[in-house]
Amino acid sequence: MKFDPDLMRAILLDTEEIPAGEAAHGFEYEGRSQAEIYRHAQILVDEGFIAGQYVDGNNGIPLDFHITDLTYRGHQFLANARNDTLWKKALTSIRDAGKTISIAVIEAVLVKLATD
């Protein structure tokens, strides 16, 4: 599975919409398998962007996911990533520079674009 920044962003945006005190048991995105969605959500938990729990299955692929909220870091990231124009500009900038698209690189480019 390849890391997909657009899927990561979609999960963050949907997580932000979860009412306080409630939880989601995953999301659905057209053309995406649950394993792919759960794996991206697992990365977001591991990196401190969302609060949630997952149940590991075979080969470390989550079997179930319980998402409760965005963390402060997730809110900070979305402050810049929410804007479609800024998001597309950041990804284009990273790709044009031939850099690897990682969460850290996206985060740094978004902050730079937002403050320029």
Contacts of 87 (CB under 8 A, 6+ apart): 9, 81, 110
Q: pLDDT tens digits for 59-116?
A: 766 667 888 899 999 999 999 999 999 999 999 999 998 888 889 999 999 999 988 8
**CATH number (domain holding residue 67):** 1.10.10
Q: pLDDT tens digits for 23-66?
A: 887 788 999 988 888 889 989 999 999 998 877 766 766 667 88
Q: Provide the domain limits for residue 47.
A: 5-115
Name the nearest CA neighbour of 52 among 71, 73, 33, 36.
71
Token digits for 16?
Answer: 């932000």
What's the domain count of the chain?
1
Contacts of 15 (CB under 8 A, 6+ apart): 24, 44, 50, 67, 69, 70, 74
